[in-house]
Amino acid sequence: MTTDNRSLWRQPQALALLMAASLTVMANATISPALAGLEQEFADVPDAGFLVRLLVTAPSLGVMLTAPLAGWLTDRSGRRRVLLAGLWLFLLCGTAGFYLPGLQLMLASRFGLGIAVGLIMTAQTALIGDYFAGARRLALTGLQISARNFGGLLFIGTAGLAATLSPRLPFLIYGLAVLCLYTVWRHAPEPRRSGSGAGQAEARGHPAWLPLVIAVSALQMLTNGLFFMMPTQLPFFFAAQGLNSALMTGAGLGLLSLCGGFAALCYGRLKSRLPHAAIFALGYGALALGFTVLAQQGSAALSLAGAMAVGTGYATVSPGFVAIALALTPSARRGTAGAILTASVFCGQFLSPFFTTPAIERWGYGGAFGMAAAAVALMALAALAAALLPARRRASA
C-alpha cells in the first residue's frame, strides 16, 4: 500500500467517505443471490421473472431521475446535508424489502433506495474534490472503488449465505448503513468554499468541462452496462448450469469484489507511472479476458475465474472516470459533475438487462458473454492506441 493510501486510511474524513462509497454496491447487487428464490416466491405474479430482475436495477432508475436534483442540492444547500439525508433514506428503503408483502411495493422501495444512492454518491464525489487534491485525490478515487469491492465481498457474500435460509433476509444487510450514518455525522463537516487548505483550494477547471465530463460519463455508462451482466445474469447463468444459484452467485460476486478491491488499491501507484489511456487499456483487456472465459460455459471453477478477471478489469478502469471528471470540473460545480457521473453509472446498470436478457434469449449465455468480450476488447484497443499516440509523436518530432 502506498504512503498516500496509508495516510488516507488514518484520516476520519476519508474513512467517512469510503464507508459511504461501500454502501453503493449494496444498492443493487446485495440481493442478487436471492433473485432465484424471490422468483419462486412470486411465481404467481405475471412477468415475475422480469420484475424480479428489475429489483436489482430499479434503484438505478431512481438515481437516473433524481441525479440532476441531487447535483443542484449539493452545489447550493451543502454537501453534508445531502449526504446525511441520503443515508437516512438508504436505511429506510433498503430494509423495507424484508417486510413488504408484494412485489410491486418492493419495486417502489427499491426506487426510493435509488433516490438515496443518488444523493449519497453525488455528495460523496463532490466531497472528495473538496477535501483532497493532487495525488491524495487520485489515491482516494482508487480507494473508494476498493471500498465498494471489499464492501461487496462482505455484503454479497453474507447475502449469499442469508439467501439460502430465506430470500428476504438479504434486505436486512442494508441496516448496516446506520454505522456509516454515524461516521459521516461525526467526521464529515461541510467544507468551506474558500481557504488555504489543499483540499479546499478553488479550482477553475477546464473551459469545456461540461461536454468533457459528459463524454467521460458516457464511456462510464457503457462500461457499467456491460459489467452489470454479472449481478443481473450470473444467478441465472449458474442455475442454467445446474449449480446452486445462491451459493455460486455469492461466491462469484464475492471473488469478483475481492479481486476488484485489490486491483483498485493499486490505482494510485499505477497512475503515478502510467497515463489514463494505458490504465484503461489494461482494465478493458482484463474485462475482455473475463467475459471470454465466461462465454466458454465451462466448469464452476472456470466460471469463477472469469468473474475474478471481470472484477479486476472493472476496478482498474473505474477510478479513472472520477479522477478525470474532478480534474476537469470547477470547484463550485463539483456537485453537478458528481450528479452526471452518478447518473451515468446507474443508467448503464438500469439499461443492462433490457439489452442483455434478449441477447441471452436469442444467442444463449455463451453468445451474450462473447459479444460483451468483443465490445470491451475494442475499447481496450482504442485505449492502447491513445496511449501509444504520444510516444509516436515524440519519436517523429
- pLDDT, average across residues 347-371: 89
**Position 320, amino acid:** G
Q: What is the pLDDT of residue 198?
A: 41
The domains located in the chain, with CATH, are 3-189+196-396 (1.20.1250.20)
Distance CA 371, CA 378 (A): 11
Cell numbers representing residue 101 in the block: 408483502
Of the candidates 336, 334, 326, 324, which has an alpha carbon nearest to the alpha carbon of residue 383?
324
Distance CA 346, CA 114 (A): 9
**Position 102, amino acid:** G
Q: Is the pLDDT of residue 373 over 90?
A: yes
| Backbone dihedral angles phi then psi of residue 32, each to the nearest 5 degrees | -55, -45
Q: What is the pLDDT of residue 267?
A: 85
pLDDT tens digits, one per residue of 109-139: 999 998 998 899 888 888 888 888 777 888 8
Mean pLDDT of the chain: 85
Of the candidates 305, 22, 304, 296, which has an alpha carbon nearest to the alpha carbon of residue 174?
22
pLDDT tens digits, one per residue of 84-103: 999 999 999 999 988 888 88
Distance CA 111, CA 118 (A): 11
Distance CA 56, CA 60 (A): 8
- Between helix 12-29 and helix 48-77 the angle, nearest 10°, is 150
Q: What percent of the chain has pLDDT over 90?
A: 30
Q: What is the pLDDT of residue 101?
A: 86
Q: Is the pLDDT of residue 390 over 70?
A: no
Q: How confident is the model at residue 394 (pLDDT cuts 50, 70, 90)?
A: low
Cβ neighbours around 134 below 10 Å, total: 12
Q: What is the pLDDT of residue 195?
A: 43
Distance CA 8, CA 23 (A): 19
Q: Which residues of 97-114 are buried (b: 16+ CB within 10 A; e: fewer)?
A: bbebeebeebbbbbbbbb
Distance CA 285, CA 379 (A): 8
pLDDT tens digits, one per residue of 190-211: 887 544 334 444 567 788 899 9
Q: How confident is the model at residue 278 (pLDDT cuts 50, 70, 90)?
A: very high
